[in-house]
A = this chain, B = another copy of it.
């Protein structure tokens, strides 16, 4: 059978076609494709030529069926439009690619039902592992995946039981640092804008906020705590409410940078100057925070690094080199820029 005969069939060329053209068995082609050094150079070359001639691409499907490994990982996240995620996605994607894995993107839009649906799809796709960064505490996603034999790493979320690995930043510590900084600057009425209901990151950052207030002997005022859902519009509304109070806060700590930016926007449109009339702190240190027109004071955690750790962990688990679940918490630090109003008191760390 000639090259043209095979191509004339107009259907995907298979390992058999290559074998026939090269005059060898399918097994030999397989050995060549998988770089197994058991093939005579001459044979190898014949096979390679046939592959090129037919433009053969081995089917990852068929291979996956028998090897039971798809070389695929899932990445579940809450909202890709939050600038904190892309950094993380980049880290996961590049490490995964280097290891020969592709990543399936699952953007849940913070909808638990959608997360649930994605979990099913991921199981059906027989992915090797999943990184979950959608960060709700009550989600059963990790358990479902695990019981389907899929490795899981939780990203920035505390597991309820310690059966799965997780990596995260020190959210409580960051919340403390941010609030403590505002307190040190003399603020006493400090508002807090929460993230998504049930998100452990938000809960922990709030715990840090409360710890700092407690140290100063301040009772947290429920009126000064709003819900922002980690969403710019929602946070914007919450900020408006806070800033229109008769006895408005002199400082706002938002559970992430996106919401902090909304606070600034709200303040500015109400004629309040930041930081003179209102100090603002965020969390995440997204790229735009360091822009000179913004200068957002915030808490920095190395999400790029964290995502690489998460991926490495997941890949090790997939390779079976990880029997025990691992916990890893990266430290965070305070980044003092413009919006907290500390410029005259502290050197700018930039």
Residues of chain A whose beta carbon lies under 8 Å from any beta carbon of chain B: 12, 55, 57-62, 64-65, 70, 75, 80-81, 83, 85-87, 89-90, 93-94, 97, 102-107, 109, 114, 117-118, 120-121, 123-126, 147-149, 232, 261, 264-265, 268-269, 287-288, 291-294
Contacts and interface: CB of A to CB of B under 8 A. Distances in A.
A83 B124 CA distance: 32
A62 B65 contact: yes
A149 B10 CA distance: 10
A105 B93 contact: yes
A86 B80 contact: yes
Contact of A57 (B81, B123, B294): B123
Nearest to A101: B121
A75 B118 CA distance: 17
A57 B148 contact: yes
Given A70-B61, A102-B125, A288-B261, A12 B294 contact: no
Contacts of A60: 121, 124-126
Contacts of A109: 90, 94
B105 A104 contact: yes
Contacts of A75: 105
B57 A124 contact: yes
Given A61-B70, A268-B293, A291-B294, 8 more contacts: A59-B65, A59-B124, A62-B65, A65-B65, A83-B86, A89-B105, A90-B109, A93-B106
A90 B86 contact: no
A124 B71 CA distance: 11
B292 A265 contact: yes
A81 B83 CA distance: 8
Contacts of A264: 291-293
Residue picked from A85, A90, A102, most chain B C-beta under 10 Å: A102
A121 B86 CA distance: 22
16 contacts: A12-B149, A55-B147, A55-B148, A57-B124, A59-B65, A61-B70, A75-B105, A80-B89, A81-B86, A81-B90, A86-B86, A89-B107, A94-B107, A261-B291, A264-B292, A268-B293
Given A90-B107, A124-B59, A294 B294 contact: yes
A291 B103 CA distance: 33
B93 A80 contact: yes
Contacts of A265: 291-293
